[in-house]
């Protein structure tokens, strides 16, 4: 395939609600993003992916869309959005929007109409089923948020039927079988593209096709009797035709990038979505690394996962690199050491994420080494998964303190706390009361303090991104691991016709002895980027790596 702009791009995931508040209402906004664009330009990113900023009652922080064609007034106006688009483009930064097409909000006009009567012209925009003879739900599917009774079906008095909601009952699933719904979506997508938007991240797109006949799920049955078997809801035959429809009716006419969020995908599954010749998506987000929340992926697993996924590159596909997003713990808390080696391990993770094959996605805040939040009280949490799981487990009789500890570790709020701009009150994020409490570590960890420190994480990211841009091996090079079974280190080369790059990383608090093959040692190497701040550059390939050391070498003969 000919090279496309997004293959060498670095993407920044921006959670607007927590980025920067300009009017003191405690909520980040578009004028705030415009104001901070120079910071992002200095970082060197090529595109921003906005998590949803459409009109929304915020049941799930915007993933419950009430109007796909308007900006939520909390964030600004359509005029602000257009100003942002222009200003970003002026900095060479593209804009990607989040398309949430599996479900809408129950406050969307379509759903308001749909629930009015069985004859409503909008009835079939959603998935309605009659109760079973005994009045119960059409099947045993549970919702992901453990909400209400736990069912994925909600009974609606007006028409005496149930509607489907994989997530909250305030987020009814859309019915992709219905052609007029598909047409509405194509038109809406083209509108954004005609406005100048540069692409989309497609939310949970692998589950827009529903199981035929809605049989009971047989796996992952919860104590309350409902099942949450994601494998029965994703990648159902027919899903490709639906995505191809989006491509044929919208994507193909524009120079854009599309990335699908595909939970439960393996490389074998993903290739059918991202093989360039199929006309579906450009790349996919998988969960094999970031999805293991309870027990983080180890270096050895990481290498095996990266190796398997990089095989897509030779099959006319493309991949996404990321270690965290808005749905999980902070990467430095999860994979690094967020106390003694916070900055050093944050930089190591930057090196890994930005040196692997594919398009790297950063998540807001990792460029200053932001950490997990761990609130003292469940009342400080906002994430519906966290609250739902807490309530469920406590109601099953578990110790509330223990449950709080368990949910705190995986809570999506870890990633969603306000950006720490300075040591001022509320971390300089707002002059009002922030919608979600700031992380108590902000006096130590904030942009201003970081940016001006000797060993700045931000400046490291910015140098690393610039280095990546100057070296084609990061985009074109093959991937070759050394000491693959080692549990402590990640050592690899990226080699293309023009150059070889060697990356050495020690993901542990202990020094790591390493052995590199003779053919690597035979090269003349130059230390290019390292997190061994303030030390003399290495003049020989090391035999031992420092704790959390990450060093990149360029090699020549
Ligand atoms: C995706 C989003 C997540 C949201 C869910 C439902 O997984 O990343 O934040 O809750 O979809 O839209
Ligand atoms: Ca605001």
The CATH number of whichever domain residue 507 belongs to comes to 2.60.40.1180
Among this protein's residues, is 107 annotated catalytic? Answer: no
| Annotation says 519 is catalytic | no
Substitution candidate for ligand 1 out of 66, 143, 204 with most atoms within 8 A of CB: 204
Q: Answer whether residue 405 is part of any domain.
A: yes
| Kind plus residue range of the DSSP H or E element containing 257 | strand 257-261
Q: Is residue 470 part of a domain?
A: no
What is the tally of structural domains in the chain? 2
- The reply to whether 318 falls in a domain is no
Ion ligand 2 residues within 5 Å by Cβ: 21, 23, 25, 27, 29
Q: What pLDDT shows up at residue 437?
A: 98
| Identified catalytic residue from 21, 173, 203, 476 | 203
CB atoms within 10 A of CB 529: 22
Sign of the CA dihedral 412, 418, 422, 423?
A: negative
Please state, in angstroms and rounded to a whole number, the distance separating the CA atoms of residues 149 and 210: 22
Q: Which domain holds residue 392?
A: 375-410
- 557 residues of the chain, pLDDT tens digit each: 678 999 999 999 999 999 999 999 999 999 999 999 999 999 999 999 999 999 999 999 999 999 999 999 999 999 999 999 999 999 999 999 999 999 999 999 999 999 999 999 999 999 999 999 999 999 999 999 888 889 999 999 999 999 999 999 999 999 999 999 999 999 999 999 999 999 999 999 999 999 999 999 999 999 889 999 999 999 999 999 999 999 999 999 999 999 999 999 999 999 999 999 999 999 999 999 998 777 889 999 999 999 999 999 999 999 999 999 999 999 999 999 999 999 999 999 999 999 999 999 999 999 999 999 999 999 999 999 999 999 999 999 999 999 999 999 999 999 999 999 999 999 999 999 999 999 999 999 999 999 999 999 999 999 999 999 999 999 999 999 999 999 999 999 999 998 999 999 999 999 999 999 999 999 999 999 999 998 999 989 999 999 999 999 999 86
Tokens encoding 502: 């060697």
- Reported as type and span, the H/E element at residue 305 is helix 299-310
* Domain final residue pick, 410, 432, 453: 410
**Nearest C-alpha neighbor of 100 from the set 73, 127, 146, 61:** 61
Cβ–Cβ < 8 Å for 209, 226: no
CA of 479 to the centre of ligand 1 (A): 31
Quick one: which atom of ligand 1 is closest to the CA of 63? 12
- Distance from C-alpha of 168 to C-alpha of 145, rounded to nearest angstrom: 6
The structure tokens listed for 432 are 């009002």
Taking the CA of 434 as reference, the closest ligand is 2
Let me know if residue 499 belongs to a domain. Answer: yes
Whether pTM exceeds 0.85: yes
Closest-CA residue to 120 (of 72, 158, 94) = 158
CA 141 to chain centre: 26
CA 543 distance to own-chain centroid = 36
The answer to whether position 201 is within a domain reads: no
Coil/strand/helix, residue 521: helix
pLDDT for 1 equals: 65
Given 355, 389, 410, the domain boundary residue is 410
Q: Is 18 helix (H, G, I), strand (E, B) or coil?
A: helix
Structural domain contains residue 522: yes
Distance 102 CA to ligand 1 centre (A): 10
Residue 295: predicted pLDDT: 85
d(CA 149, CA 95) in angstroms, rounded, equals 39
d(CA 357, CA 315): 14
Of 410, 431, 458, the one marking the end of a domain is 410
- Identify the nearest ligand to the CA of 418 by its number: 2
Residues 6 or more apart whose CB falls under 8 angstroms from that of 95 comprise 47, 48, 50, 84, 85, 88, 89, 196, 197, 198
Q: Ligand 2 centre and the CA of 269: distance in Å?
A: 41
Q: Which of 98, 198, 261, 327 is catalytic?
A: 261
Distance in Å, CA 203 to ligand 1 centroid: 6
> What is the CB < 6 Å shell around ligand 1?
60, 63, 100, 167, 203-204, 261, 326-327
Beta-carbon contacts of residue 264 (< 8 Å; ≥ 6 apart): 206, 230, 231, 234, 235, 287
Residue by residue, what is the 3-state secondary structure of 370-381?
A: CCCCCCCCHHHC
**Is residue 294, in this structure, part of any structural domain at all?**
no
Residue 529 lies in a domain: yes
Residue ranges of alpha helices (H) inside 413-545 are 413-416, 447-451, 457-470, 473-476, 518-521
């Amino acid at each position: 395939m000919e090279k496309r702009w997004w293959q060498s791009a670095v993407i920044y995931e921006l959670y607007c609600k927590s980025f920067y508040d300009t009017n003191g209402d405690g909520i980040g906004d578009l004028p705030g993003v415009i104001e901070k664009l120079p910071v992002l330009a200095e970082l060197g990113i090529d595109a921003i992916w906005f998590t949803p900023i459409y009109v929304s009652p915020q049941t799930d922080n915007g993933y419950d869309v009430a109007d796909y064609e308007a900006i939520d007034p909390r964030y600004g106006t359509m005029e602000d959005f257009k100003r942002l688009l222009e200003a970003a483009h002026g900095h060479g930064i593209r804009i990607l929007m989040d398309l949430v097409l599996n479900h809408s909000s129950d406050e969307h006009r379509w759903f308001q109409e749909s629930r009015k009567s069985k004859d409503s012209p909008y009835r079939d925009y959603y998935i309605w089923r009659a109760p079973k003879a005994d009045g119960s739900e059409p099947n045993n599917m549970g919702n992901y948020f453990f909400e209400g009774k736990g069912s994925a079906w909600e009974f609606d008095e007006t028409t005496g039927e149930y509607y489907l909601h994989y997530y909250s009952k305030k987020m009814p699933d859309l019915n992709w079988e219905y052609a007029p719904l598909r047409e509405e979506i194509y038109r809406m997508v083209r509108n954004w593209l005609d406005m100048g938007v540069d692409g989309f991240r497609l939310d949970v797109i692998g589950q827009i096709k529903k199981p035929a006949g809605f049989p009971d799920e047989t796996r992952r049955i919860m104590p309350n009797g409902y099942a949450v078997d994601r494998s029965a809801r994703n990648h159902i035959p027919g899903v490709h035709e639906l995505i191809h429809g989006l491509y044929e009716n919208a994507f193909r006419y524009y120079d854009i990038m599309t990335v699908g969020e595909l939970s439960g995908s393996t490389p074998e599954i993903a290739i059918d979505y991202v093989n360039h010749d199929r006309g579906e998506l450009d790349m996919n987000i998988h969960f094999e690394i970031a999805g293991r929340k309870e027990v983080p992926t180890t270096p050895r697993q990481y290498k095996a996962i990266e190796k398997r996924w990089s095989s897509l590159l030779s099959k006319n596909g493309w991949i996404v690199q990321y270690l965290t997003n808005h749905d999980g713990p902070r990467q430095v808390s999860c994979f690094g050491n967020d106390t003694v080696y916070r900055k050093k391990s944050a930089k190591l993770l930057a090196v890994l994420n930005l040196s692997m094959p594919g398009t790297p996605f950063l998540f807001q805040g990792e460029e200053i080494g932001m950490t997990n939040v761990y609130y003292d009280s469940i009342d400080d949490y906002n994430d519906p998964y966290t609250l739902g799981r807490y309530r469920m487990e406590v109601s099953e009789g578990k110790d509330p303190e223990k449950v709080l500890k368990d949910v705190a570790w995986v809570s999506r709020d870890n990633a969603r706390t306000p950006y720490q701009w300075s040591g001022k009150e509320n971390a300089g994020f707002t002059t009002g009361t922030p919608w979600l409490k700031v992380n108590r570590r902000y006096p130590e960890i904030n942009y201003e303090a970081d940016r001006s420190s000797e060993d700045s994480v931000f400046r490291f990211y910015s140098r690393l991104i610039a280095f990546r841009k100057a070296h084609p091996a990061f985009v074109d090079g093959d991937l070759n691991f050394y000491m693959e079974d080692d549990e402590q280190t990640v050592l690899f080369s990226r080699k293309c016709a023009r150059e070889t790059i060697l990356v050495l990383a020690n993901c542990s608090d202990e020094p790591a002895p390493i052995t590199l093959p003779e053919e690597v040692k035979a090269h003349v190497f130059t230390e290019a980027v390292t997190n061994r701040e303030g030390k003399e550059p290495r003049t020989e390939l090391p035999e031992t790596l420092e704790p959390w050391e990450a060093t990149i070498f360029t090699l020549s003969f």
